[in-house]
Structure 1
Amino acid sequence: MPNGTAPNPRHFAFLLFADFGHIAPTLGPARELLARGHRVTYVVDERFRPAVEEAGATAVTYTSARGDFYRAADPTPDRLAREGYELLLDTVRTVFPRAMDHFAADAPDVILYDYETVAPARVAARLLDAVPVQVSPSHAANETFSLRRQMWDADHPLMRRGASVLIEFMTSHGIGVQELGRYGAEWDERNLVFLPRAFQIRGDSFDERFAFVGPTVTEPPAGTWTPPADGRRTALVSLGTEAGDRHAFFRVCAEAFDPAEWHVVMTLGRGADLDRLGPLPAHVEAHAWLPHPAVLPHAAVLVCHAGMGSIMEALYHGTPVVALPRAHELDLSARRLEECGVGRSLPRRGVTARRLSDAVAGLLADPLLPRRLAEMRTAVREAGGAVRAADLLEDWAAERPSPAAAGA
């Protein structure tokens, strides 16, 4: 469809968890929708206004109560439960009122949300008569596989309190007791999953309600980064965009790669203090941030935290991954890399340069690795990305009568 020629322009709204890894996968589909002449609005933490507005969408902002769990060196189940409960309160007390205030005079046709914003988004969609669509930046859930059960201890006191908060919130907005199961489910009737089915845990068990559209990988401008001219292999090392203080880990990585054979590129995280790393060996370059797709086509391996965005970019370029996850769904993704034969997983705690070096060497020596990487690269690239996601969203939006049709 040519740019800006949507015969029936629609309004799409995103209510997403305040984390770059949840927002970034949606920006490609948002840009595609905008290019087709639709409108896109994000209800988003103020920190992410620049990313949203750079994509061309409207940002309706608030200040999230999110803490630093994802940046904590060793998150515990209790800490996960506490922050999860606080974020739940935040979604119903801050995000929901902010969204309803804004959309009262300009209701969206479609509301997209993730598993962290289920409560406000589903209730808002009901009240605004919008089509709800759940998006999954990581593994989706269905009747066979539950991400919630993998991450949360259902018997934790804060989880029970959270369930009470949800019930009170939903019933206060007219959702009857008999409907609570449907409104509290881990999936919806329409689901966009930003990974290929081949990487989804128990992917064959997911039916037509789930569209595995894969990632949208944007190639950076030419000259963003230049590989070494001496023929050494390149290793890319990252802990994601919000890594925080991980300088000891990065120093281990610097020691793990033989300078005679490797050139190491490190991205420490936005706002990182590069000076805290101290003097670096000549074969290591460090950046606060650098677009990974600038490096990955030249990289022999990615060492990362198992964030799905990093994994998908690597597999899009056919780059194997050594993952050092620290908690929750990152562990699942690291294990999935091994199951698919395209990566290795190491525990972050107690990692040494020798153990990391051995893991990289063992992965690259696997004779089946090239074939498995090629298969996964094809699966990622053929999933459909932003174009397929936008096609589906236009179809789902058509289930709601357009303003023009409603007034006819």
Structure 2
Amino acid sequence: MSGSRAVSQRHVAVFVFADFGHVNPTLGLTRELVARGHRVTYVVDHRYTELVERAGARAVGYTSRRGAFGKVPDPSAARLAAEGYELLVETMDTVCPLAVAALASDVPDLVLYDFESFAAARMTARILGCTTTVQLSPSHASNETFSMRAQLFDPEDPSMRQGGAALMRFTRDHGLAPDELGRFLAEWDDRNLAFLPREFQIEGASFDDRFAFVGPSVAEDGAAVPWTPPGDGRRLALVSLGTESNRQRDFFRTCLDAFDGDDWHVVMTLGRGSDLAGLGPVPPHVEVHEWLPHPVVLPHADLLVCHAGMGSVMEALYFGTPVIAVPQTFELALTARRLDDLKLGRWIDRDQLTSQTLAAAVTEIVTDPGTPERMARMRAQVRGAGGAVRAADLLEQWAADRAPSVSGV
């Protein structure tokens, strides 16, 4: 904790998309803010209420209609746009009025939000007169040079047109003048926190001082988790597709067949609520769990095989562990490609994944003499980005500055 200067106690509101990969990167920052005496309120799907409350925050809960958004392998552009439209409507029709009602008697000093929550968060800030808004990027940030949304969505898609029309109605109904729209609808804020180091950001050198790349906040204390590394001299691989239950049995079976039990011990996490027996027979060198926190295993791991979720990737890089990425969506493919470009791992297209292609990628990584140096350099960059302490310092500074925000206040 910083604690190096006296600051006013602040109330911080957090709006995040209903997904573990969006909630989890904020929790270290929340713990740091609470430790400094600030109060934090999340407007969040009920599934994550317990998680944010354990971090010391208050939760204002709702039930999201997220469904399978971002979870179905290789979704079409049309499906992404249609589901994105439904979630946009949810933020405007459900999240915004809920937040305004919940926060009106205790107006926040800062409003933090991810891009998926921008309409609700910026409008809530505008209605309540909160001058300091900060956009959070759990994945790659966007600016004038690189746009994540332009990579993902076709502006001519009918659902995108519907979304644009819905946003126009939403802003008009809340009194925004035409000359305010450009700023309100911008893909980034005047203040932005990205939970990755600049060196990993796509086009990182093009981002100016509106963007702070603070890296991840990784909780290293695994004392409460009953897991012990094998300690038998074999290499260790962690295989995971994230925290949530999934039905990708074939992926895990392929990974089972790719690792030789004489050389490797494999830890697999199938996701909370998964049917472990449904995986079928498991060889002795493989242990299967619903879930283990990655920071418990990664300090002992020689390799992570994952879907290229940014949270998983940042945890691996924090510990200097190379990654084999098998992305499930186009957004994740951007991160997989970045790993490959920086030679911090290998990208295998999902359609090309076999036990043979995976085994070959594993061999390439562990026999490449440059891997240890590259991993050590990125490990230092991830840890040197500042994490939760630097992020909290910046938020305290920005709250004190009270500069006008994109919300129009």
With the shorter chain as reference, the TM-score category is: over 0.9
Matched with 2:136 is: 135
Give the TM-score normalised by structure 2. 0.95
Matched with 1:405 is: none
Matches of 2:4 and 2:49, distance apart in 1? 23
**AA in 2 matched with 1:307:** G
Matched with 1:315 is: 317
Matches of 1:35 and 1:6, distance apart in 2? 14
Quick one: higher RCO (CA 8 Å, sep 6+), 1 or 2?
2
Matched with 2:251 is: 249
Matched with 1:213 is: 214
CA shift, 1:369, in A, is 1.3
Matched with 1:23 is: 23
Within-5 A mapping of 1:106-185: 106-130=106-130, 131-185=132-186
Do 2:73 and 2:329's aligned partners in 1 also have CA atoms closer than 8 Å? no
What SS does the corresponding residue of 1:118 show, helix, strand or coil? helix
Matched with 1:259 is: 261
- Alignment identity in percent? 60
CA displacement 1:306-361 (0-9 Å, x = unmatched): 00000000000000000000113201000000111101000112521111111111
Matched with 1:292 is: 294
Do 2:245 and 2:273's aligned partners in 1 also have CA atoms closer than 8 Å? no
Matched with 1:269 is: 271
**AA in 1 matched with 2:295:** P
Matches of 1:136 and 1:62, distance apart in 2? 22
Match of 1:362 among 364, 369, 374: 364
CA displacement 1:266-298 (0-9 Å, x = unmatched): 011111111111120000001100011111111
Matches of 1:213 and 1:254, distance apart in 2? 36
Do 1:71 and 1:242's aligned partners in 2 also have CA atoms closer than 8 Å? no
Matched with 1:196 is: 197
What SS does the corresponding residue of 2:95 show, helix, strand or coil? helix
CA shift, 1:71, in A, is 2.4
CA displacement 1:105-164 (0-9 Å, x = unmatched): 111000000110111111111122211100000000000000000011111011011011
CA shift, 1:70, in A, is 2.5
CA displacement 1:3-43 (0-9 Å, x = unmatched): 79964111000011000100111111111010000100000
Matches of 2:299 and 2:27, distance apart in 1? 22
Matches of 2:156 and 2:296, distance apart in 1? 45
CA shift, 1:69, in A, is 2.7
CA shift, 1:2, in A, is 7.2
**AA in 1 matched with 2:183:** R
Do 1:297 and 1:317's aligned partners in 2 also have CA atoms closer than 8 Å? yes
Matches of 1:331 and 1:198, distance apart in 2? 18
Matches of 1:2 and 1:277, distance apart in 2? 46
Matched with 1:337 is: 339
What SS does the corresponding residue of 1:69 show, helix, strand or coil? coil
Matches of 1:342 and 1:329, distance apart in 2? 18
Unaligned 5+ segments in structure 2 are 404-409
Do 1:216 and 1:385's aligned partners in 2 also have CA atoms closer than 8 Å? yes
CA shift, 1:79, in A, is 1.3
Do 2:222 and 2:295's aligned partners in 1 also have CA atoms closer than 8 Å? no
Matched with 1:45 is: 45
CA shift, 1:400, in A, is 3.8
Do 1:139 and 1:147's aligned partners in 2 also have CA atoms closer than 8 Å? yes
Matching of residue 225 in structure 1 with residue 248 in structure 2: no
Do 2:134 and 2:193's aligned partners in 1 also have CA atoms closer than 8 Å? yes
Q: Quick check: 243-252 or 202-211, which moved more?
A: 243-252
What SS does the corresponding residue of 2:31 show, helix, strand or coil? helix
**AA in 2 matched with 1:128:** L
Do 1:236 and 1:266's aligned partners in 2 also have CA atoms closer than 8 Å? yes
Matches of 1:2 and 1:343, distance apart in 2? 34
What SS does the corresponding residue of 2:288 show, helix, strand or coil? strand
CA shift, 1:247, in A, is 1.4
Match of 2:349 among 347, 350, 361: 347
Do 2:271 and 2:290's aligned partners in 1 also have CA atoms closer than 8 Å? yes
Aligned residues: 401
**AA in 2 matched with 1:156:** D
Do 1:6 and 1:38's aligned partners in 2 also have CA atoms closer than 8 Å? no
Matches of 2:303 and 2:163, distance apart in 1? 41
**AA in 2 matched with 1:341:** K
What SS does the corresponding residue of 1:133 show, helix, strand or coil? strand
Unaligned 5+ segments in structure 1 are 402-408
Do 1:4 and 1:38's aligned partners in 2 also have CA atoms closer than 8 Å? no
Matches of 1:399 and 1:37, distance apart in 2? 19
CA shift, 1:170, in A, is 1.2
Matches of 1:354 and 1:40, distance apart in 2? 48
Matches of 1:147 and 1:67, distance apart in 2? 22
What SS does the corresponding residue of 1:135 show, helix, strand or coil? strand
**AA in 1 matched with 2:213:** F
Do 2:2 and 2:393's aligned partners in 1 also have CA atoms closer than 8 Å? no
Matches of 1:341 and 1:84, distance apart in 2? 32
CA displacement 1:60-104 (0-9 Å, x = unmatched): 000001011322133221211111010001000111011001011
Matches of 1:58 and 1:376, distance apart in 2? 35
CA shift, 1:175, in A, is 1.3
